Amino acid sequence: MLTNSASGGDAPSRGFDTPTLDLESAALLHAISEHGGYAYVSMAALAANGDIRAAEAACEMAWEQLHSGPWHSVLPVWRDAYSMACLLVARHHYRNGEFRDALRVLDLGIIMGGTLLRKDLDSAIEKISEQTRKTVRVSDLGNSEHRLVDREFDMAEVLQLLPVKSLSNKLVAKKSALSLEKFLKDHYLSGCPVIISDCMAHWPAKMKWNDEDYLLRVAGDRTVPVEVGKNYLCTEWKQELITFSEFLQRIKSDSCSPGGLTYLAQHPLFDQINELRKDIFIPDYCFTGGGELRSLNAWFGPAGTVTPLHHDPHHNILAQVVGKKYIRLYSSSLSEELSPHSGTMLHNSSQVDLDDIDENKFPKVQDLEFVDCILEEGEMLYIPPKWWHYVRSLTTSFSVSFWWSEGESSDAS
């Protein structure tokens, strides 16, 4: 990993450029004051003149606004205010050569902030990353031969962990190098899941992401949001912000935080860390139907992480880059039988816990038809919209999901 500060002679005294902030700051501060942020505006003015305590105070004020209610109710101006304060705090750290601290604050600006100052945040991270590469020591990178997944698992042991009837019924069809025409005709239009093999060999991620040293080098000091606990339906579930290196350490040590397994789930990691985005390619299948890509997310965690039975609104290709996952799918036509939660937030999640089915409450679930599979490294699984799916990591696993929508003139309905 990198050192937190440069030697005195190497410390960048000028800071980094923020052209968007320079252009938009007056208008942004005016908008903030119109929403009662007078104290924030005062602190931001002092921070712009180099007062680090004022910058940190502004950051805290904006942070409090971000947590004043449900995320969807937070005013966009306060998200931009948080990004602004993060830039001001990070500039101070950068001038002092405190690169790790600067990266953490900028990452928080990306994760929690708005879109107005995104280019400034990205360019600052790129500049600081260039500095940090100069301070990385080979001894900090660990054992170059260490792989995240380097052994097979015992299938008999795995079957003991999976839901009842797993891999004993109908398996998801697997097709090698499926043509776009066949994908459209046999799966996209008919809404039929399929595993596509032999279509990721050209991805740099196939070779790189199983190498702990590579991940540490490109992302070790970046801050990411993780989930801690059995899954998001459990009361003890929570979210944390930790460095990528700490996350890898939890996986490597095969240990949990006090709250349970740690999972980097459904996070737009590739928007945040450009080096990892260069390691993957959007599958051509995602342009089927004339639609557009809606989201590109990472799923990374140890064996045992579970995403409970749920459905998503878009077409989905789940690409398995490292490790293996068990996946069970139920047709969208079985939604009523799978008893979705009634609340707005969880309406796409089933009340049925496949790992511990309450047969008194859901007596017919065991008889419902499903398909399932073990998704291997280098394979992609197509999941049609509204199909219910349950996912369990069988090993340390790093996956990428591609969601895309149908075009307005699509023949699929």
Rounded to an integer, the average pLDDT of 31-43 is 97
Residue 34: pLDDT band (50, 70, 90) is: very high
Mean pLDDT of 209-236: 87
> What tens digit of pLDDT does each residue of 276-311 get?
999 999 999 999 988 889 999 999 999 999 999 999
Question: Per-residue pLDDT for 9 more than 50?
Answer: no
pLDDT at 13: 55
Angstrom distances, CA of residue 214 to CA of 9, 164, 245? 29, 38, 11
Which tokens sit at 182?
A: 């066949």
pLDDT-wise least confident of 69-83, 136-150, 361-375: 136-150
- Confidence label for 78 from pLDDT (cuts 50, 70 and 90): very high
Separation CA 402–CA 297 (nearest Å)? 7
Residue 232, pLDDT > 80, answer no
Average pLDDT value for the chain: 89
Among 5-9, 208-212, 392-396, which is the least confidently predicted range? 5-9
Angle between helices 76-95 and 118-135 (to 10 degrees): 30
pLDDT for res 139: 40
The residue assigned the tokens 């280098």 is 378
* pLDDT for position 167: 94
| pLDDT-above-90 percentage for the chain | 76
pLDDT score at 254 = 60
pLDDT at 410 over 60: no
pLDDT reading at 275 higher than 60: yes
Which range, 39-43, 68-72, 285-289, has the best average confidence (pLDDT)? 39-43
Mean pLDDT within 331-335: 96
Give the pair of three-digit tokens for residue 175.
């097709």
C-alpha 58/C-alpha 42 separation (Å) is: 9
Per-residue confidence band for 72, with pLDDT thresholds at 50, 70 and 90: confident
> How far apart are alpha carbons 110 and 270 in whole angstroms?
12
- pLDDT at res. 47: 96
Q: Rounded CA gap, 326 and 371, in Å?
A: 11
Asked whether 318 and 399 are in contact (CB, 8 A), the reply is yes
Structure token digits, residue 383: 């999941």
The mean-pLDDT minimum among 281-285, 299-303, 342-346, 391-395 falls in 342-346
- The C-alpha atoms of residue 48 and residue 58 are separated, in whole angstroms, by 11
The per-residue pLDDT for range 180-191, each reduced to its tens digit, is 999 999 999 999
Kindly state the average pLDDT of the residues 207-232. Answer: 90
| Alpha-carbon gap, residue 1 to 219, rounded angstroms | 10
Question: Which pLDDT belongs to residue 406?
Answer: 82
Residues 6+ apart with CB under 8 A from 160: none
| 108-117, 227-236, 287-296, range with the lowest pLDDT | 227-236
Helix (H) or strand (E) holding 83: helix 76-95
Residue 144: per-residue pLDDT: 44
Q: What whole-number distance in Å separates Cα of residue 330 and Cα of residue 317? A: 16
The residue ranking higher by pLDDT, 239 or 399, is 399
Closest CA to 284 of 382, 372, 398: 382
| pLDDT band, very low/low/confident/very high, at 234 (cuts 50, 70, 90) | low
Yes or no: say if 106 and 86 are a contact pair by the CB < 8 Å rule. Answer: yes
Cβ(88)–Cβ(55) under 8 Å?
yes
Distance CA 322, CA 32 (A): 45
| pLDDT value at residue 132 | 76
Residues 304-331 pLDDT 10s = 999 999 999 999 999 999 999 999 999 9
Structure confidence by residue, pLDDT tens digits, 122-166: 999 999 988 776 665 444 444 446 888 877 778 888 888 999 999
**Which residue type occupies 76?**
P
Provide the sign of the torsion angle of the four alpha carbons 347, 349, 350, 353, taken in this order. Answer: negative
pLDDT, position 374: 97
**% residues pLDDT > 70 (the chain):** 89
pLDDT at 2: 44
pTM above 0.85, yes or no: yes
